[in-house]
Structure formats: C-alpha cells, structure tokens
C-alpha cells in the first residue's frame, strides 16, 4: 500500500505531497488524516496522510521510503477539516504542507508524545447551505443577532476582521467564548487546539487564524463586519479572503454561514438581491446625520485653512464631550514642492510623495519608512520658493494649539503616538487621529466628529476606493451616538458617495452600474498575479512572457479574460520592480478556473484571488 503524505513544512507546490510505502505491520492501523513520522533528507519529519493507493509495483517498492511510525492512533484532523485544508491549498495556490502546519498544533516532540487524541470525526454528510446576510442598525441589535445565531448544540465560529474587534463582543460572556488570533503564543495555541478538537470549546471569536482550528462539530460561522477590508490577507500566502474561505469551511462541515454587518459590501448586496445569499432586509439608516461641507465654497470665500467656518463654529460651540477630527495622513503636510519650477519631493525608492514632519525636520516616505533631511532650496532649480501642500496630523495639531480657546486637551493619535496614548485622559479632549485612532477612542464620549479631508483617497485608481470610503463614512455613523454631529469636508459634494449617504440603495445602484461597465465584481471574479524583479526590464519581460503563455493556455476558454501586464504603483518597492496581471473570470465556474490558473503560473509569481487592490500594495 502506498500513502500520499503532505510534509508539515513549506515545500515547493509541485512536491507538497510525497509517496511513501506503508509497512506491513502498520497496514491495519493507518488512516487518512493521521499524523506520521517519515524520512526526508536523512532525517525524520512530520507528515499527514492524505490518500492511499493500492497499486504497489516492484519498482515502487525499490524506490519509495517507508513510513516510520504513527504519532497518534486517531486522525489529527477530521476528514472535513482536511478537505477544507486541501481546498484552500488548491484555490490559493499554497503548498498543502504549509496550510496543514497552520491547521495542526505546534509539533513539539516532548509534548505530542504525551498526548492521546480521541476520534471525534462525525461521518454525517455535509450539505451545502445557502449563505445568509443579516444587517444590524446598532450595537444592541448586533449583540441580539449573535445571541440568536450561536448554536445550542455544536460549535460556533464568529469571525472578526482584526484583533481589536474581539473586545466589542464582550457582551457574549454568557457563552464563554474563546478568543483566537495570530497574537497567541505557541503554548496557548497548543492548549486551545486540543480543546476545540475534543469539543470542550463551543464558541470561538477569532480572526482568520481561527478558520484553521480542528473543528469537530462546526454548526454556525458568523462573518462579522463582512465588508471590512481587513478580512482580506494580502501580505503572504495563502492570500485568503475570510468571507470566501469561511464559505469553503462551512461547505466542508455542512455548517450555516451568516454574514453580519451594518453596511454590506457591494458584492454581498448584489448576491443578496439576486438570491445567491438569503436576505429580506433593507440597508439600515442611521440617526446620526452627516453634514456635507463644500470646501470649494470655502475657498471662494477666501478661507484657505484646514477647517471650514462651519467646523470652526461647531468646535467653538462644543462645550462638553470629546471632538474627533479624522485625517488619514500623519505628518505636517501632504507633500512638499517648489512654486517656481513645479518640483515635488518624492521618495527615491518608490516615487511616492514625501511628507514633511516638523518635529524631526525630515521628509518621510510612509511607504518605505525612509527619512530624508528637509532642504531649504529646491534640488531642481535651486530656488527658495519651497511650499508645503495639504494637511497632516502634526500641522493640524499645531494649528489647533494656536487657536484652542476651549480648554480642551489636544491629543494626536497616529502611528507615531499610538503606543503612548492613554484612554484614561481626564476631561474633554480634541482628538486628532488617523485610522489607528478608531479602535482606541471612546465613541460614547464623541459629541462632534469631522472628516477633515474626505477626498484624500477618493481618486486613487483602484476599483474599491469609493466602496472603502463609503464604508468608512457609514462606520462613523454607526459608532457615533444619535446626538453627535458628523461633518464631512469635501471638494466634491456632487460625488455619489456624499450625495447618497442618506440613500444607500442609490449608492449601490451607481457602483454596480460602473462595475458592470468594467466587468468588475460582482459581475466577474478577479485574480491578481504579480511579480518583482531586480530591474524594470527583467520585470517587464517576465510579465510579458507570462501574459503570452496565459493567452495561449486560455485561448479556448472564453470565461477567462487576461489583462495586459502593467507596472505597479509604485513600480519600485521592497527593493524590486513590480508588474501585475489582472485576470477576470466568469462566476459560473470561478473555483474550477481559479484552481486551473493556480496550477499553471510560475512559483515566483504571487497569486492573489479576490484582491482588495489591483495594481498597488
């Protein structure tokens, strides 16, 4: 008998599983999902049995090595969880052994020898259930939905986009939930792994890491805040999208998958309207109404400052409670340039604009983390007419410090100050913050919030930018109390994001209209392929070669559209020059075709299904 064994380590994709002979004395004991020791490169390593074949030729007997021994008599992973791991490996183009390494406990020899694992594999068939989407209006309604959805018999997984979001669910204490994230130590993961495997733990609140726990009786998966971009992992393989992976996990276990949110993603709303997901709700509106401030009118009235007159009045009239001024750009200015020749200071490595930081007198690249000394004259024309454009958190803090007549403490929360922020500041505060501040502030104390520059990301050429800003504005409305004021400063009041804040359906209709025009999701499924090389010429050549190969490979597959290769923005980053190719696939067979493409791209190319960005990091 020959066993296919996935070695529990990072291996090349093409040899992620190896064949081993099963010794005669082990033939009656071996089973799929078992953890075994096998010889590999003159030493014993851990592996997991994934398949058996009976065709054992004389030639195989002479070439194949023998399985050394079985670590645990019963399967380490249930067949359902193993099926999920294989699906993730094939779909996200990641070696199976690497996925299994995440699915198994830390394999410490001294510990696992003492462990006896029980057989908890339930053999009932898994039926595919239609995903549901449930919308909530406020925190109370959210908690009530969770309490109704948590399984009374089997296990429940509540998937959140980031670790900080787990603290919002402390009202579920009656269910004794276990928190799981990538921040847990090996010892903690080891202990929790066995408790989930034996069903001692029933309810888990976790990030993407929790998908790979050894579920034995998983009944319900809840993906909370399903439209949050942080549900997507773009940094390293497997580049999973948690909503997508959770549906694969639900299918493997026959569990019910439920998406919960106050603002659905454009794709989810479309699928709900077309009965792919079950939903009979309208998109909730919020009592906190947004006030749109036209910054073009402010400029016409000769107000060239960071704050509109309306916001200045609102700040001066705020006698109690906190004020939150949101600006997703740290530093003292957006960029530095020369008025005489038009020169703009850019990073020598990635070509992005450098941001001036007054406290260090440096020009910093927030992408490459490089610092440059501030220059007094223009490097291009040697002129002295240098000027700073835009506003950053530091310059806004400086401006408010000059004019603060409210006796409120001014606090800045960005990546430079987040470590020293103290939630226990006494008294009312004016908080100037980037996105980092959202999980640190006490929203119940915010009486006034303002988006200082709502347009900063609006015209970045990425197809999800409008949706991301829409979600951010709606998230502010969700968190703020009904009595709080929300001011949004923009130079583009006509944009459908701002004009439709009170009419969510119109926003989705407009987004869907634009996406249909360009064959973007939900009308096609996207895959991003990208690669970095030491020179631009080599990078461009590699991209063109892959493009030609993929065109030839898919010439008879009209469901696949291959885009021309394009340089990334920035094209030079992390010491390499980058090019990307975007693939559009019909949703009808998207899983099958995604796996087909994954099998046919070079190992050095990054494979990113369902990306947040197309041609940028």
**Cross-strand pairs, 608:** 528
Band of pLDDT at residue 395, cut at 50, 70 and 90: confident
- What pLDDT is stored for residue 59 in this prediction? 60
Q: What share of the chain is helix, strand, coil (3-state, %, to 5)?
A: 35, 25, 45
**Model confidence at 517: pLDDT above 90:** yes
pLDDT (mean) for 504-529:
96
> Around Cβ 24, how many Cβ atoms within 10 Å?
9
d(CA 319, CA 314): 10
The most confident of the ranges 82-86, 164-168, 569-573 is 82-86
Token pair, residue 267, equals 């794709």
DSSP annotation of 346 reads B
Alpha helices (runs of H) in 200-294, residue ranges in sequence order: 242-253, 266-273
d(CA 58, CA 60): 5
Whether the bond between 234 and the residue before it is cis, its omega within 30 degrees of 0, is no
487-to-311, 318, 329, 363, 452 alpha-carbon distances in Å: 7, 13, 18, 31, 8
**Model confidence at 147: pLDDT above 50:** yes
132-273 CATH pick, 3.40.190.10, 3.50.50.60, 3.30.360.10, 3.40.50.300: 3.40.50.300
- Tell me if 179 sits within 8 A of 166, measured CB to CB: yes
Whether the bond between 73 and the residue before it is cis, its omega within 30 degrees of 0, is no
DSSP annotation of 350 reads T
Band of pLDDT at residue 119, cut at 50, 70 and 90: low
412 SS3 class: strand
pLDDT (mean) for 581-594:
95
DSSP annotation of 234 reads -
d(CA 285, CA 507): 13
d(CA 144, CA 133): 15
d(CA 346, CA 337): 9
Closest by CA position to 286, among listed 459, 434, 136: 136
The most confident of the ranges 316-330, 379-393, 508-522 is 508-522
Residue 311 backbone dihedrals phi, psi, to 5 degrees: -70, -40
Angle separating helix axes 79-91 and 590-598, nearest 10 degrees: 70
- What pLDDT is stored for residue 404 in this prediction? 60
Q: Using alpha carbons only, how large is the chain's radius of gyration in Å?
A: 27
Residue 386 backbone dihedrals phi, psi, to 5 degrees: -85, 145
Measured CA angle at 543 (ends 542, 544), to 5 deg: 95
- What pLDDT is stored for residue 605 in this prediction? 96
* Beta-strand relationship, 256-261 and 576-585: unpaired
- Tell me if 35 sits within 8 A of 115, measured CB to CB: no
Second CATH level (architecture) for the domain 290-513: 3-Layer(aba) Sandwich (3.40)
d(CA 255, CA 248): 10
**Model confidence at 123: pLDDT above 60:** no
Buried b / exposed e over 234-272, threshold 16 CB at 10 Å, is eeebbbbbbbbbbbbbbbbbbbbbbbbbbbbbbbbbbbb
**Cross-strand pairs, 3:** 20, 52
- Over the stretch 196-251, which tens digit does the pLDDT of each residue have? 998 999 999 999 999 999 998 999 999 999 999 999 999 889 999 999 999 999 99
556 SS3 class: coil
The most confident of the ranges 21-25, 140-144, 257-261, 405-409 is 257-261
- Tell me if 530 sits within 8 A of 608, measured CB to CB: yes
**Model confidence at 124: pLDDT above 60:** no
**Model confidence at 351: pLDDT above 80:** no
CATH number of the 525-609 domain: 3.30.70
Closest by CA position to 19, among listed 38, 34, 33: 38
- Over the stretch 302-327, which tens digit does the pLDDT of each residue have? 887 889 999 999 998 988 899 999 98
Measured CA angle at 159 (ends 478, 175), to 5 deg: 90
Enumerate the domain spans of the chain: 2-112, 132-273, 290-513, 525-609
Token pair, residue 318, equals 């705020």
d(CA 524, CA 518): 9
Token pair, residue 322, equals 């906190």
Per CATH, the homologous superfamily of domain 2-112 is PriA, 3(prime) DNA-binding domain (3.40.1440.60)
Q: pTM for this structure? A: 0.89
* Beta-strand relationship, 155-159 and 203-206: parallel
- Tell me if 577 sits within 8 A of 536, measured CB to CB: yes
Q: Do domains 2-112 and 290-513 have the same CATH topology?
A: no
pLDDT (mean) for 125-151:
88
Q: What is the mean pLDDT of the chain?
A: 88
- What pLDDT is stored for residue 612 in this prediction? 94
d(CA 51, CA 141): 46
d(CA 585, CA 591): 9
d(CA 78, CA 255): 15
Band of pLDDT at residue 350, cut at 50, 70 and 90: low
- Over the stretch 17-33, which tens digit does the pLDDT of each residue have? 999 999 999 999 999 99
- What pLDDT is stored for residue 332 in this prediction? 43
- What pLDDT is stored for residue 256 in this prediction? 95
Residues in Cβ contact with 444 at an 8 Å cutoff, skipping those fewer than 6 apart: 481
- Tell me if 436 sits within 8 A of 164, measured CB to CB: no
d(CA 568, CA 291): 36
Beta strands in 366-463 (DSSP E): 370-373, 386-389, 409-413, 429-433, 446-451
Q: Characterise 269 by phi-psi region: left (phi > 0), alpha (psi -120 to 50), beta (else).
A: alpha
Starting from the edge strand earliest in sequence, which strands make up the sheet with 43-53, in order?
A: 17-21, 2-7, 43-53, 35-40, 69-70
pLDDT (mean) for 293-297:
92
């Amino acid at each position: 008998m020959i066993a296919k064994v996935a070695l529990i380590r990072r291996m090349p994709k093409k040899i992620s599983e190896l064949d081993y002979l099963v010794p005669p004395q082990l033939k009656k004991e071996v089973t799929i999902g078992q953890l075994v020791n096998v010889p590999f490169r003159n030493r014993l390593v851990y592996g997991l049995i994934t398949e058996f074949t009976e065709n054992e030729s004389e030639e195989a007997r002479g070439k194949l090595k023998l399985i050394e021994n079985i670590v645990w008599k019963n399967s380490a992973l249930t067949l359902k969880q193993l099926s999920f791991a294989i699906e993730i490996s094939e779909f996200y183009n990641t070696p199976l052994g690497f996925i299994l390494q995440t699915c198994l406990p830390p394999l410490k020899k001294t510990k696992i020898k003492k462990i006896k694992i029980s057989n908890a594999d339930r053999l009932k068939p898994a039926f595919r259930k239609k995903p549901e989407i449930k919308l909530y209006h406020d925190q109370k309604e959210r908690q009530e939905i969770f309490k109704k959805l948590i399984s009374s018999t089997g296990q429940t997984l509540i998937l959140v986009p980031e670790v900080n979001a787990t603290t919002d669910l402390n009202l579920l204490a009656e269910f004794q939930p276990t928190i799981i994230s990538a921040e847990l130590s090996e010892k903690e993961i080891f202990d929790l792994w066995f408790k989930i495997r034996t069903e001692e733990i029933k309810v888990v609140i976790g990030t993407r890491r929790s998908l790979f726990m050894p579920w034995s009786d998983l009944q319900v998966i809840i993906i909370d805040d399903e439209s949050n971009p942080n549900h997507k992992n773009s940094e390293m393989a497997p580049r999973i999208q948690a909503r997508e992976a959770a549906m694969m996990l639900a299918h493997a276990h026959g569990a019910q998958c439920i998406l919960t949110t106050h603002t659905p993603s454009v794709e989810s709303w479309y699928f709900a309207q077309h009965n792919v997901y079950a939903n009979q709700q309208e998109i909730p509106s919020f009592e906190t109404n947004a006030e749109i401030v036209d910054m073009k009118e402010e400029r016409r009235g000769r107000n060239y400052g960071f704050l509109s007159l309306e916001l200045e009045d609102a700040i001066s009239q705020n006698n109690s409670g906190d004020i939150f001024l949101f600006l997703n750009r740290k530093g003292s200015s957006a960029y530095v340039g020369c008025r005489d020749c038009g020169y703009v200071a850019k990073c020598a490595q990635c070509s992005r604009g450098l941001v001036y930081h007054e406290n260090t007198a440096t020009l910093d690249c927030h992408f490459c983390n490089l610092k440059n000394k501030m220059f007094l004259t223009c490097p291009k024309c040697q002129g002295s007419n240098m000027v700073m454009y835009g506003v950053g958190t530091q310059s806004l803090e400086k401006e408010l410090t000059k004019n603060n007549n409210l006796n409120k403490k001014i606090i800045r929360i960005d990546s430079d100050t987040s470590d020293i922020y103290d939630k226990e500041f006494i008294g009312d505060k004016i908080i100037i913050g980037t996105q980092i501040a959202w999980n640190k502030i006490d929203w119940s104390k915010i009486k006034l919030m303002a988006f200082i520059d709502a347009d900063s990301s609006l015209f970045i050429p990425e197809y999800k930018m409008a949706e991301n800003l829409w979600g951010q504005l709606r998230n502010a409305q969700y968190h703020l109390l009904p009595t709080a004021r929300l001011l949004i400063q923009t130079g583009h009041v006509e944009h459908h994001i701002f004009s439709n804040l009170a009419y969510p359906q119109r926003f989705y209709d407009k987004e869907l209209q634009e996406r249909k025009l360009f064959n973007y999701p939900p009308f096609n499924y996207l895959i991003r392929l990208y690669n970095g090389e030491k020179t631009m010429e080599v990078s461009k050549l590699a991209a063109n070669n892959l493009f030609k190969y993929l065109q030839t490979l898919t010439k008879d597959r009209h469901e696949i559209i291959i885009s021309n290769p394009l340089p990334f923005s920035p094209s030079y980053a992390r010491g390499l020059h980058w090019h990307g190719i975007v693939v559009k696939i019909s949703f009808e067979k998207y899983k099958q075709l995604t796996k087909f493409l994954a099998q046919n791209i070079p190992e050095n190319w990054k494979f990113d299904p369902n990306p947040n960005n197309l041609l940028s990091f």
